[in-house]
Amino acid sequence: MAIGKTKVAVIGCGLVGSTLSYYLASNRICNKLLLIDLNEKKAWAEATDLRHSLGYSNSKVQIESGSYGDCGDADVVILAVAAPYRDGMTRLDMYEKACSIMDSIIPPVMESGFEGIFLVITNPVDLITQYVQKLSGLPDRKVIGTGTSLDSARLRMYLADLMDVDPRSVDALCMGEHGDSQMIPWSQVTVGGKSFHHILKDDPNRLGGLSLDDVLKEITGIAYEVVRSKGATCYGIASVSGQIVRAILFDENKVIPVSCMLHGEYGFEGIYAGIPAVLNSQGVKELVTYHLTEEETARLNRSLGILEGCRRKGSEKE
C-alpha cells in the first residue's frame, strides 16, 4: 500500500454500497471509510453496524458517515447509487434518471476539493462513467466504471464449473457494453494456459456440443434473473469493485476489464466501454489491445457503436 493513510468514500448505502463497504473494511483495503447517503440516518446506521463488525477482527479501519463535503481528502469516491429499475428494463433505459442523480452528487463532491479517482457502479455504467467524467472535469484516467468486470467474473465461474477446474485457472473476459450487446473474445480465453478453442477442437465431445453463443446469452442474462429473484445483485459487484479499489490504492498495475475512455483503441475515440485496463494509483495506466478475429472485431464494433449512439443521443438532451 502507498505510504500514508488511504480514504475511500462510498456514496449510496443501499444493498450494493453497504455490501461493498463491508468488503473494503473486512479486507482492510483502506484506512478510512466514509459512508454517504441522502438518508443520513441510514448512512449513520450502516457505518455504526459496520464498526461493530470489527470488534473481533484484525481490521483497524476508521469508519464514519458524512456528507459530500467530506470527500475532499478521499483517494477514491465510489458511486454506488442506483436509478429505479422496473422488470423488463435494460440498463440503457436507466440513463436519463441516472444522469439526474449524478447532477446532484458530482458538483458538491468536486466543490469539496476532491482530486482523487471516481469509481462508478451506477448503471448504465459505461454511459454514466462518461457523464461523470464530463461533469467532474477530471482526467478520464481518473474516472473509471466497473464495466465488464462483473460479467468477466461470471464468465470465469461459468467456465470453471463447466470444466471442473479452479476459477483461478481460467483466464476469460467480456468486452464492450456492460449490458445486452457485450461480447466474449473467445480467441483470448484460456484454461490452464490452453486456448479454449484448442480445448474444444482436441476433444469435441468433452463439453457436449457447447454453443458459445449460448454461453454469452447465459452471462448476459443471469443478472436479470438474480434481480428478479432477490431484488438486486450485491456480492459479485462488491467483490469486483473492491478489487478495483485495491488495485488503485495498492498501486498493483493489475489488468481488469473496466469502463474506460478509448483513445483510438479498437478504432473508437472518445467513448467509455468495458476494456481490459492496467490499473494503478494513477487510475487507468494503459489499455490492453488484443488481436481479435474478424468476427470478434465485428461484435465488439457493434457493441461500441451502440454505446456511441446512446452517448450522442444523451449529449443532444443535455
CA distance 139 to 261: 10
CA distance 318 to 310: 13
Q: Burial level of 313, CB count in 10 A (0-12/13-18/19+)? A: exposed
CA distance 21 to 18: 5
Q: Quick one: CA torsion of 149, 152, 157, 163, rounded to 10 degrees?
A: -160
Q: Write out the DSSP string of 107-141.
A: HHHHHTT--SEEEE-SSSHHHHHHHHHHHH---GG
Q: Which residues are catalytic?
A: 178
Instruction: Tell me how crowded residue 62 is: count the other CB atoms within 10 A of its CB.
Output: 13
CA distance 76 to 79: 10
Coil, strand or helix: which one is 36?
strand
What would the grid cell of residue 18 be? 453497504
Question: Which residues on adjacent β-strands are paired with residue 190?
Answer: 171, 195
Question: For the chain, where are the alpha helices, taking DSSP H only?
Answer: 15-26, 40-52, 95-111, 125-136, 149-163, 196-202, 212-230, 235-249, 294-317
